Each structure stands twice: as structure tokens, then as C-alpha cells.
Amino acid sequence: MSFTKLPPTLSILDAVYHSAIRFVTKAPYTTHHCDRYALVGWPSLHIRRQTHWLQVIYKSLLGKAPPYLSSLVIIAAPTHSKRSSRYDQKALLVDGANGIGALKVCEMETYLKKELQLSLFNNGSSGKLNHLCGADYVKVQQSSHRCVEMSAGERCCSYDGDADRIVYYYCDSIATLISTYLKELLTQAGLDLQIAVVQVAYANGSSTHYLEDTMKVIVRCTKTGVKHLHHAAQEFDIGVYFEANGHGTVFSKEAEVKIQQLARDSNTNDERENAALLLQNTVNLINQVADRRVIDTTDAERRTVSPAGLQEAIDSLVNKHRQARSFVRPSGTEDVVRVYAEADTQVGLRR
């Protein structure tokens, strides 16, 4: 709908409205009506019509507008394919490995579709878990041609079957993307925190040059193995590391206090506050377990001995289902607690 050329009736209403504002403000006839509206804080009829029309569009998209109004709104079909191209930075191909990650990607797509166009492969509807697909297959075979139908220049990632790791072809891209995102937020927040990426000798040299020369991020090289990577990451305010198989994390224990203080500071401006809140949400997402060592296990890590009451709660849930079992254990490498559960049916497992 165009608002530039009005029907005769609306033009008459505009003229009456302009006359009324001239009378109220007692401004000279030569004063433009926009200046008069600004003087008394009135919206013009033009703005009012646009606002009402946008409300109709919004309610029609939500299905809350009456049919006689929603029929006036025609939603154009997208002119682009959901599949990515080498120039489409909003498209991502996802290999779900026929596992739990595929189910979660379907849930996330609802929230991400405005910013990211996901094309899901190996969604669990057919095929076996991790068979010729998934993060480990890509890492071992150094190939994805059986996992995803992708072309040169397309962006792609693969989950592991249990969704505890992800390979974003290739793994150095994950650390680079995360550290770049965090670096930009730290700059916006005005926080003087030392961020570093920990790599091994097998890391792609271009990623190292990009981080050091372009992003001005410290790069530390260490021996292979999570224990070496994690130890080196602890030397910095924020340490980022990922192995070639997709295992990795962001270590940010020392930075959390400063980030939280800034997020709660009522005197900071909107840009810094928004950046601090994004940093805080990122830290909370990554460090969801304050101390994994509070869980102690026995019987080959199949039963917990602390904290008190945890094993009894697990047993109570397990006893409600046939052929069910479950156990929790602290991760050996990350501040997370790993949960394992099985049952005789998929429905029972979800419960």
C-alpha cells in the first residue's frame, strides 16, 4: 500500500488536520505542518495511517486480525532458495547424525529462522545413528560427501550422535568464530580482558594468522589433548580451544565477575550494557555447571555417592519405566555433568 498519493477524502482530512494545528499553535501560514506537529507532539495523519497499517500486518502475520483485514495483506513468497550459496552468509547445512542433535536443531530453527536458514540432513527419519555421518565420521574420514549434499562455498557443520560436540568444517573455524564474536563484544563493552585461542601444531595456519593479525587475539600453541589445551586456556581471562574432533569449550572463570558488574551497572550506556548482557548470557550458556566435582561416583561411574539424595532421585525415575537405567557423572574435561539414560521405548526414554 502506498501512502504518498491519497484518495480525495483523506486529502480533505489532512487539510482539516493542518488547519487545526495552525489554529492551536498560532504559527504563521508559511510554517510547515511537520514543524507544528513537532511543536505540540502530535503525530501527523500520515504517520497514524502507517502505524495502523503496520499493526494490521503484524496481527495478520500472527493470525489475530479479522479476516476482512488479513485478506488485505499478501505475504510474498521468498525469492531465494533455502539452500545456501557461496555468497549467502545466512544459510547453514546441518548434519544431525541421525541423533538427538537433529531433534534439537528442529526446535531451534523456529527461533533462528529470521537470522539463519538451516537445511537439516540426517534428521533421524531414516538411517542409523552416526553411520556414514556425524562429527566423528567427518573428522576420521576427512570427508563429508556421504553426510551432506553440499557444493563448493557452502557452509556446513556436523553434530555428533549425542550432540556433545560439533564440527564446523573445519574445527579451527569454531574457535575463530567464537573468539571473533567475543572479541567484538568485549570491544563494545569496553572491557579490558585478555582473550586467547589455544591451538595445537595441526591447526590451520591461515586461522592463526587471521586471529593474530586481523582480530589481534593472542594465539597459544600447546601439545595435543584436552588436558593440555584446558590448562593453557586457564592462563587467560577468556580462553578458547577446540580439538579437531569438535570437543572444546570457552574458559572464562576470571572474566565472569567483571562482566556481571558491568551488566548490573546502571550508569553504563545502552551499547555497553547490551554487549555486557550478551557476554553474560554467553558465559552462562557455556558454564552451566558451577563445579562438576560436587558429583562423586562409584561402581564404574554408574552410581553417585554425592551429593546426598541424587542417586535416590535417579532410582525413583528409573523404576517408573521398563528396562530402564540412567546414571550421571562429571565430565573429565569440561564443567558439565554428563547424563546417560535408556528405556525400552522412545516414549519411555523421553519421560
Q: What does each C-alpha distance from 74 to 1, 49, 327 come to in angstroms?
A: 11, 18, 53
pLDDT tens-digit profile, the chain (351 residues):
334 445 566 667 777 777 777 777 777 766 666 666 666 666 776 677 777 777 777 777 777 777 766 666 665 554 445 444 444 567 888 899 988 888 888 888 888 877 888 888 888 888 888 888 888 888 777 676 666 777 766 788 888 888 877 887 755 667 888 888 888 889 999 988 889 999 888 777 888 888 898 888 899 999 888 888 888 888 898 888 877 666 778 877 778 888 888 888 878 888 888 888 888 888 776 665 556 677 888 888 888 888 888 899 999 988 988 889 999 888 766 666 788 888 888 777 776
pLDDT score of 8: 60
| Alpha carbon distance 107, 91 (integer Å) | 17
pTM above 0.95, yes or no: no
- Where do the domains of the chain lie, and which CATH numbers do they carry? 8-70 (no CATH), 91-168 (3.40.120.10), 171-287 (3.40.120), 293-350 (3.30.310.50)
Within 74-221, strands assigned E span 91-95, 117-121, 156-159, 166-168, 195-199, 218-221
Q: Are strands 195-199 and 218-221 parallel, antiparallel or unpaired?
A: parallel
**Residues 97 and 133: beta-carbon distance below 8 Å:** yes
Residue 225 in grid coordinates: 589433548
Angle at CA of residue 194, ends 245 and 169, nearest 5°: 25
Q: How far, in Å, CA of 47 to CA of 65, rounded?
A: 21
Across the strands, what pairs with 326? 341
Residue with cell 533421524: 124
